[in-house]
Amino acid sequence: MPTKPDTAASSAPAADASETLIEVADLQVHFPLRGGLFNRHAGAVKAVDGVSFRLRKGEVLGLVGESGSGKTTLGRTLLGLNKATGGSIRYRGKEIAGLREGELRPLRRNLQMVFQDPHASLNPAMDIATAVGHPLQVHGLVPDAAERRVKVAETLERVGLSPAELFLDKFPSDLSGGQKQRAVMARAIIAGPELLVADEPISMLDMSVRAKILQLFLDLKRDLDLTYVYVTHDLASAKFFCDRIAIMYLGRVVEIGPTAEIFANPRHPYTKALLGAIPDPEKVGVPRNLPRGEIPDAAQPPLGCAFHPRCPVAVAGCGWEARDLAALLDRHWLAAGEDARLTESALFARPAELATAGLRTVSLTPGKGHTAADIVELLGRVREKTRDDAFWRGVTAVEARGERACVDFAEGSDPRLRLVGGTADTVSVACHLVA
Amino acid sequence: MTDTDTTPAREAATPVLSARDLRVWYGSKRGPVAAVDGVTFDVRPGETLGLVGESGCGKSTLGRGVLGLLPPGAAVDGEVRFAGRNLVGMPAKDLQALRGPELGLIFQEPMTRLNPLMKVSDHFEEALRTHNRGLGKAQIRTRALDALRGMGIPASRYDSYPHEFSGGMRQRIMIALALVLRPAFVVADEPTTALDVLVEAQIIQILADLRRNFDTALVLITHNLGIVAEACDRVAVMYAGHIVEQGDAREVFANPQHPYTQELLRSTISLGTTGLHFIPGAPPDLADPPAGCRFHPRCPKAMRVCADEQPPEVLLPTGSRTTCWLPVPDMTTAEGRLPLEAEEIGVADEA
């Protein structure tokens, strides 16, 4: 039977807390895009784009964001499952970002992963004893099969699959979702790792099982002195489980700090939006201000701050561009109706002029029978109707220049992650509005 | 408690759809499985009924069963009254004609429910043509664009293919498709499960607007209790094929009466969670459900009577209904109310 140390002992390693396990600096993971004729290089998806943080031994760091935020890619890259294209990852001072697979393999004993879908992370043709014992075999940790079985049985008991004899010879299809996730956990801890990256480990489970698996994570952390990176989109479980939280948006960390501080005092508008969107049985019928739209395409991210097109409090310097005008017109036409859209869109000869990424000045060709002045006049009317839209804060000029109608946008910049002053807690935020 | 003045008015409105003692069986190697076992509920115009419970408790089967969308080999019994007709036992052809214009369904996974080879416009043309043969192309376009606009999809995207949309947009298209025929009754089966937090909140807001603007009666199947609290007027909690508690959503969440509802709420991880709580064990095998109350093996308040006899449905002063022996001491003997010696449940006996 595994011996469990007293719960009180878990609070002891406070002095140890500053020991750095992993240090990530300016990490980039870019996936090249190929397309068009002859399969040429066509830009890159910046899945992770300049992320830095420090992971202390014994802490639980949450990577929180929507799909497409880069949280899963970041988690996988920490273990070398995706190749970093820039920056560094130091594990106990040793650079692991550029290592080849053969060099990484011995490290995998210490750095393990739990995947989202327990049904897909176990080989359906492999019994539980073989699957869970696989790491022992790969790393040559036990001399023979008999000893491996003993060790597997012991580990199954530890994750709650007890009595182990009942599970050793079962196949994944005989197990429930929660039991499978326990088996996956057993496989992850059997080689004695130090760090576990858990990618949405409870999101596929039934709600009544989630708390049990989260409890198992807590028990294992206490018993085995583990450090976790918890990748999730679920803020409620992150709030309960994590010591620190990094909020991610489109490949960047936009806010990072101690969990209590992030929830009590969210600073980035995106963090505020996420917290405001959580349905809560205890807060019924409170109307909420949701940001419009969805997370944009990472292949062509917005200019400046990536969140500015959805941000309710964006200002002039957030990076407004031509595509934002296209989005504004769509919003206007949604409200104005189909007839207005048909008449008004005829003013634009080439709607594609608004589709190019990164244009700070856009020059519009009037449609047949229309002049640049008509476009300026239309934009004036739209502006009247959408006066409160943050978009207009970034517009510096709307005027006819010769045959064409031009719209100029204020110069914007990409906010970097900066430490927020004045707090004992170390919160960093990437927003122009947070000084 | 807040004064629920609106309740009598709602009660007075004629239900759009009434299910009485509805049962759905599936055939299995171990005999018939009663996935839905004697369920009774009403949904009124403009009302949203939330259906919650763990996986495998019969929520989806109930939703499909009401619409007559069950796989071959399933048997249905009881009554589903809609517009003066009983949908149970109705010829498949008649039911088919009702689905779409009268009865709508919004599926769980918008990714797989739209035909990838058909443009959004084709989907709408197909749906509208099937049910309104006389409609011209221009009329179809107008109605489709109206429905899409209500969901926040710009008209410029009308001729795009499904893969050109994000998951949230596809779900909006699915909802627009279900609503373009203006059905009086809609079942939404986990409409936000595959979506992100912000998009989920947007969709819930859309569904809330829907019942306000169109008087649509909606059954919202979900395992997310937060959504029910937010989007539903009434809630029905299902366990092992039964509705164990039913009532005003706020009332049920503020003051849950059935031990299962209480345990379910306690085990949900929310922003207020400070300690983990869970219900031991797993929902029963429906081919061989436990005697008496089906929740008794997992119930922390189980009494001796619970293991022997099925509990009655009790109407509480709050208007909620609960199927439990606890609130009716005069219907049981003193001996029956002694605590039940629970059998040991292993940590890993779970869903």
Encoded tokens for A368: 């047949």
**Number of domains chain A is built from:** 2
Q: What is the DSSP string of A81-147?
A: SS--SEEEEEETTEE-TT--HHHHGGGGGTEEEE-S-TTTSS-TTS-HHHHHHHHHHHTT-SSSHHH
Q: How confident is the model at residue A285, as a pLDDT? A: 54
Averaged pLDDT, B131-148: 89
Q: Which of residues 83-122 of B touch A (CB under 8 A)?
A: none
Encoded tokens for B177: 């498709």
Cβ <8 Å between A233 and B145: no
Nearest to B154 among A167, A178, A334 (CB): A334
For residue A334, tell me if it sits in a domain: yes
Nearest to A236 among B146, B154, B273 (CB): B273
With a cut of 90, say whether residue B340 has pLDDT above it. Answer: no
Instruction: Residue B193: list chain A partners with CB under 8 A.
Output: none
Cβ <8 Å between B347 and A212: yes
Read off the pLDDT of residues A62-72 as tens digits, 9 standing for 90 and up: 999 988 899 99
Instruction: Residue A160: list chain B partners with CB under 8 A.
Output: 347-348
With a cut of 60, say whether residue A20 has pLDDT above it. Answer: yes
Averaged pLDDT, B166-183: 89
Q: Last residue of some domain: A202, A237, A271?
A: A271
With a cut of 50, say whether residue A10 has pLDDT above it. Answer: no
Give the residue carrying structure tokens 């990256």: A197
Averaged pLDDT, A371-383: 95
Q: How confident is the model at residue B351, as a pLDDT? A: 59
With a cut of 50, say whether residue B45 has pLDDT above it. Answer: yes
Give the residue carrying structure tokens 């599926």: B107
pLDDT bracket for residue A43 (50, 70, 90): confident
Nearest CA among A417, A416, A418, A389 for reference residue A309: A389
Domain that holds residue A404: 320-409
Q: How confident is the model at residue A36, as a pLDDT? A: 63
Q: How confident is the model at residue B11, as a pLDDT? A: 54
Greater model confidence, A43 or A121? A121
Report d(CA B279, CA B211) in Å as an integer.
Answer: 34
For residue A62, tell me if it sits in a domain: yes
For residue A43, tell me if it sits in a domain: yes
With a cut of 70, say whether residue B2 has pLDDT above it. Answer: no
Q: Residues B155, A341: contact at Cβ < 8 Å?
A: yes
Cβ <8 Å between B351 and A178: yes
Report d(CA B24, CA B79) in Å as an integer.
Answer: 11
Q: At what angle do helices A322-336 and A338-345 cross, to 10 degrees?
A: 140
Q: How confident is the model at residue B324, as a pLDDT? A: 95
**Beta-sheet strand order (sheet of A404-409):** A361-364, A404-409, A395-401
With a cut of 50, say whether residue A2 has pLDDT above it. Answer: no
With a cut of 80, say whether residue A421 has pLDDT above it. Answer: no
Instruction: Residue B249: list chain A partners with CB under 8 A.
Output: 284
Model confidence, pTM: 0.89
Averaged pLDDT, B302-311: 93
Number of CB atoms found within 10 A of residue A356's CB: 13
User: Average pLDDT, whole number, for chain B?
Assistant: 88
pLDDT bracket for residue A379 (50, 70, 90): very high
| DSSP letter (8 states) at residue A190 | T
Instruction: Residue A174: list chain B partners with CB under 8 A.
Output: none
Q: How confident is the model at residue A113, as a pLDDT? A: 94
Radius of gyration of chain B (CA): 21
Report d(CA A114, CA A118) in Å as an integer.
Answer: 9
Q: What is the DSSP string of A306-357?
A: TTTTT-TT--GGGT--HHHHHHHHHHHHHHH-HHHHHHHHTTBS-GGGGTST
Read off the pLDDT of residues A319-374 as tens digits, 9 standing for 90 and up: 999 999 999 999 999 999 888 999 999 999 998 899 888 899 999 999 999 999 99
Segment among A201-205, A229-233, A266-270, B207-211 with least mean pLDDT: B207-211
For residue A399, tell me if it sits in a domain: yes
- Could you give the angle at the alpha carbon of A181 between the alpha carbons of A198 and A257, nearest 5°? 25
Read off the pLDDT of residues A296-325 as tens digits, 9 standing for 90 and up: 888 889 999 999 999 999 999 999 999 999
Q: How confident is the model at residue B39, as a pLDDT? A: 95
In three-state secondary structure terms, B74 is strand
With a cut of 70, say whether residue A280 has pLDDT above it. Answer: no
Nearest CA among A66, A229, A62 for reference residue B200: A66
Read off the pLDDT of residues A248-263 as tens digits, 9 standing for 90 and up: 999 999 999 999 999 9
Encoded tokens for A60: 């639980």
With a cut of 70, say whether residue A430 has pLDDT above it. Answer: yes
Does residue B266 belong to the interface with chain A, where contact is any CB pair within 8 Å?
Answer: no
Averaged pLDDT, A90-110: 91
A98 and A204 in a common domain:
yes
A91 and A25 in a common domain:
yes
Nearest CA among B50, B64, B51 for reference residue B103: B64
Q: At what angle do helices B259-267 and A207-224 cross, to 10 degrees?
A: 50
Q: How confident is the model at residue A3, as a pLDDT? A: 40
Averaged pLDDT, B126-151: 90
Q: Which of residues 115-154 of B touch A (CB under 8 A)?
A: 142, 145-146, 149, 152, 154
ipTM of the complex: 0.86
Report d(CA B318, CA B202) in Å as an integer.
Answer: 32
With a cut of 60, say whether residue B46 has pLDDT above it. Answer: yes
Averaged pLDDT, B235-244: 96
**Residue A228 sits in a domain of what CATH number?**
3.40.50.300
Q: How confident is the model at residue A56, as a pLDDT? A: 94
A334 and A242 in a common domain:
no
Q: How confident is the model at residue A67, as a pLDDT? A: 86
Nearest to B198 among A66, A214, A215 (CB): A66
Segment among A7-21, A342-356, B86-100, B296-310 with least mean pLDDT: A7-21
Q: What share of chain B is helix, strand, coil (3-state, %, to 5)?
A: 35, 20, 45
Q: How confident is the model at residue A286, as a pLDDT? A: 55
| Region class of B100: left (phi > 0), else alpha (psi between -120 and 50), else beta | left
How far apart are the CA of B306 and the nearest CA of chain A, in angstroms?
A: 22
Instruction: Residue B59: list chain A partners with CB under 8 A.
Output: none
In three-state secondary structure terms, A259 is helix
Cβ <8 Å between A337 and B226: no
Does residue B230 belong to the interface with chain A, where contact is any CB pair within 8 Å?
Answer: yes
pLDDT bracket for residue B3 (50, 70, 90): very low
Q: Residues B224, B38: contact at Cβ < 8 Å?
A: no
Read off the pLDDT of residues A117-135 as tens digits, 9 standing for 90 and up: 888 999 999 999 999 999 9
**Pairing assessment for the beta strands A20-35 and B185-189 based on DSSP bridges:** unpaired
Segment among A9-13, A97-101, B126-130, B197-201 with least mean pLDDT: A9-13
Segment among A159-163, A292-296, B6-10, B79-83 with least mean pLDDT: B6-10
Greater model confidence, A230 or B55? A230
Instruction: Residue A210: list chain B partners with CB under 8 A.
Output: 269
pLDDT bracket for residue A40 (50, 70, 90): low
- Could you give the angle at the alpha carbon of B122 between the alpha carbons of B116 and B124, nearest 5°? 110
With a cut of 60, say whether residue A14 has pLDDT above it. Answer: no
Instruction: Residue B53: list chain A partners with CB under 8 A.
Output: none
Does residue B156 belong to the interface with chain A, where contact is any CB pair within 8 Å?
Answer: yes
Report d(CA A126, CA B336) in Å as an integer.
Answer: 48
A234 and A370 in a common domain:
no
Nearest to B166 among A281, A294, A330 (CB): A294
A355 and A256 in a common domain:
no
Nearest to A162 among B196, B271, B348 (CB): B348
Read off the pLDDT of residues A212-223 as tens digits, 9 standing for 90 and up: 999 999 999 999
For residue A242, tell me if it sits in a domain: yes
Instruction: Residue A205: list chain B partners with CB under 8 A.
Output: 351
The CATH code of the domain at B8-115+166-244 is 3.40.50.300
Nearest to B197 among A162, A274, A281 (CB): A274
pLDDT bracket for residue A37 (50, 70, 90): low
Counting one residue from chain A and one from chain B, the pairs whose CB atoms sit within 8 A come to: 154
Cβ <8 Å between A211 and B269: yes
Which residues of chain B are in CATH 3.40.50.300 domains? 8-115+166-244
For residue A336, tell me if it sits in a domain: yes
Q: Residues B63, B99: contact at Cβ < 8 Å?
A: no
| DSSP letter (8 states) at residue A364 | E
pLDDT bracket for residue B8 (50, 70, 90): very low
